[in-house]
Amino acid sequence: MISSNRTCVNYHKVIPPKTHRLSARIYLDRPRGYRGDPNWKEEYSVGGGGPLSLILVLGGARSGKSSFAEGLMAKYSPPVTYIATAEGRDEEMIQRIQRHRATRPPSWETVEAPLGLVDEIRKRQDRGVILVDCLTVYLSNLLLQEEMQALDAAEREERILLEVTTLGEVASKAKATVIVVANEVGWGLVPPYPLGREYRDLCGFANQRLAAYAQEVYLVVAGIPLSLKDLSLGR
């Protein structure tokens, strides 16, 4: 489950149909309090920043989630910042990152942040749009730090989820729109080794925590985005 060769930036090649991207933009055009429920109240969200300060985009491998997230960015005014969390640990990975970088418009600022994600968002929180791709790789980077491996599993979980909470607080209160891409890793096979199971559970807890701060949460399946807070029975 944890590999330096796994990265959300590799999943963007699956392009969702144009009609689906337009449908997502229709959701974004609705009033901020809208969730498909006339009784929906703003206090159901933890965050309190500008309109759609934090958007979470979830999906499996090659689901089209990164392409959908990049399409959402067109809705907002520049500057555009792309924060990549993957590291080029080998030649094959370096080439993947270079190919992906070549597809981005030259006007986008690219920031590589395998660690220190919250600080990078704070530096740019006053305007524009920020895309983080992706949270799942970032969690792997945190988990595999030498100092983390010296702790027990409960302590690692507490520290990492505290950072996710800080990320949610900062992003949801930013004037910039922050779009975070993350994997849904819990729908596959159970990892055969303890660290893999710990990582899978950590990703699930982190997604839940960040979703509580997000004004919009999308799940992308086979290139088709679903607005989860519109569909949620709890909203």
Residues in contact with 38: Cβ distance below 8 Å, sequence separation at least 6, in sequence order? none
Q: What pLDDT score does 188 carry? A: 84
The residues spanned by each domain of the chain are: 8-231
Q: What pLDDT score does 45 carry? A: 42
- CA–CA distance, 200 with 163 (Å, rounded to integer): 17
Q: What pLDDT score does 52 carry? A: 76
Q: What pLDDT score does 49 carry? A: 53
- Provide the greatest CA pair distance for the chain: 53
Between CA 186 and CA 226, with CA 21 as vertex, the angle to 5 degrees is 35
Catalytic residue numbers, as ranges: 100
Nearest Cα to 214, choosing from 23, 87, 51, 46?
46
The pair of structure tokens assigned to 28 is 């974004």
Residues of the chain with pLDDT under 50: 1, 3-7, 9-48
Q: What pLDDT score does 89 carry? A: 77
Q: What pLDDT score does 28 carry? A: 36
**Domain boundaries 8-231, CATH class:** alpha beta
Instruction: Look at the block and give the residue holding tokens 């229709």.
Output: 26
How many Cβ atoms are within 10 Å of 110's Cβ, its own excluded? 13
- CA–CA distance, 197 with 193 (Å, rounded to integer): 6
